[in-house]
Amino acid sequence: MEEIRDCIGHLACCGDASTGFVTSLYKGHRTSAYLAVGESFTVEGRNTRTIVTRATDKAFHIVSYHIAA
């Protein structure tokens, strides 16, 4: 599992590109999913939005930016 961080350096989620498994834990609430190649998982928190897309079975594509409070 690799750590996926948002644009300000906070841990957004963890994921394994080979299986497509992505999991996020925030304030005691865990959310997880298995992504097919091309699917996305969005994590919002701490005034950021992080979009994790499974690009291939070896890598994720990460886009993270600030959102209005």
Confidence of residue 13 (pLDDT cuts 50, 70, 90): very high
Burial code (b: 16+ CB inside 10 Å, e: under 16) for 20-29 equals bebebeeeee
pLDDT at 67 over 70: yes
CA distance 42 to 29: 15
pLDDT of 69 reads 67
Confidence of residue 22 (pLDDT cuts 50, 70, 90): very high
The residue assigned the tokens 């992505």 is 22
pLDDT at 59 over 80: yes
pLDDT of 7 reads 93
pLDDT of 26 reads 83
Token pair in block for residue 21: 């498994």
